[in-house]
Amino acid sequence: MSRRCPRCKNVYEGEARFCPKDGSPLVDVGNSGRGSPVPSGEQRTVARAVVPRKQPPLDRAASLTNQVLDHRYKVEHRLGEGGMSYVYEATDMHSGTSLAIKVLSPKLSRDHNSVERLRREAGLAMRLDHPNVCRILRLGETEDGLIYLVMPYLRGELLSDRETVTGPMTPQVGVEYLVQICSGLHFAHRQHIIHRDLKPENVMLVPNDQGGETAVVMDFGLAKQNRADPSMAKLTATGIILGTPEFMSPEQIRGKAIDARSDVYGTGVMAFEMFSARLPFEGRTPQEMMIARLRGKPTPLRKYRPDFPAKLEAVLMKSLASDPDDRYNTAQDYGMALIDATEEVDVARLRRMLG
């Protein structure tokens, strides 16, 4: 069957019903086109009908245990789930390596913006080769349309779980973790990438060969390039604020432009919680705490821990300043200030972490 576009005058062979160039409905001009003359000025083109892509069932991403993705990744068991994804432990059947696989919910994979955001996450995080950042190793897609990210499997304990078990940390222990977090963030910031969803659930404490622990920042799923980019603008055009309310900076709450200082603020909120087991702003709901950050000042940490070093408290309060201009300009500056304000730490070693 031959069909012609009444607008651009091109003639198409095949089952296409609409013009690939301008979307106009095509009109029949003859059988298969053999022996049919092509009017002057027209071009004959083969155009295939667009076949809707097969979509996975909505429960597919939630039930991958014991299955194999792309003939390579054997899914062992589910580790957890979030608002837009499921995370599994898996084994690379080629190398035997344990991996973590983050699978986008099929419901969201049908949304172009969600898929675009996940692809952006992969592209950004693949560049973050640093001991205090969890890398993205690969972005994949199964034959039935599941989109997934492959990451190293970190065997350790979430910072949020450690806080629950141990309660408020000593200055020495907390600063050790915070300096490592600042080191990873500073590396990302130098790549023009900010995290903007820092919270204890996004930091893993992994045992290292030196008998200590390495703090690894995970889930750059809300990462945003700190550059003008039309494709990034499309993702935030709806005005939706992305992040965790309790840890968001005032400028992020307001939907304004953010930079490295917003991550400094998020790290400051984490630090306050690590040392006090409380948040620096009070409220019955996350929304009330957001309003408190816009209108008030953080609670002095020494209100909850009178024995806490005043010099270290001052560093934390500066990181939580409402105006970004009043905070530390970089995560490196913040880390250095934490070191200088803490007694009984290996200053030289911690400074080397920050470069």
Shortest CA distance to 146 belongs to which of 88, 197, 202, 93? 88
3-state helix, strand, coil in the chain (%, to 5): 35, 20, 45
Q: How many residues does the chain have?
A: 355
Shortest CA distance to 200 belongs to which of 183, 179, 176, 216? 216
The answer to whether 224 touches 192, Cβ cutoff 8 Å, is no
Shortest CA distance to 268 belongs to which of 294, 298, 227, 311? 298
Q: 11-13 and 44-46 as β-strands: parallel, antiparallel, unpaired?
A: parallel
Alpha helices in the chain (DSSP H): 106-109, 112-125, 159-166, 171-190, 230-236, 250-253, 260-276, 286-295, 310-319, 331-340, 347-353
Residue 284, judged by CB atoms within 10 A of its CB (0-12, 13-18, 19+), counts as: exposed
How far apart are alpha carbons 83 and 145 in whole angstroms? 19
User: Under 8 Å CB-to-CB from 254, ≥6 apart: which residues?
Assistant: 294
Q: Catalytic residue positions?
A: 197
User: Under 8 Å CB-to-CB from 204, ≥6 apart: which residues?
Assistant: 134, 154, 156, 157, 158, 159, 215, 216, 218
Q: 68-69 and 27-30 as β-strands: parallel, antiparallel, unpaired?
A: unpaired
Would you state the structure tokens that stand for residue 168, as one six-digit string?
């408020």
How far apart are alpha carbons 250 and 196 in whole angstroms? 12
What 3-state class would DSSP assign to 166?
helix
> Running DSSP on this structure, what letter comes out for residue 338?
H
The answer to whether 180 touches 353, Cβ cutoff 8 Å, is yes
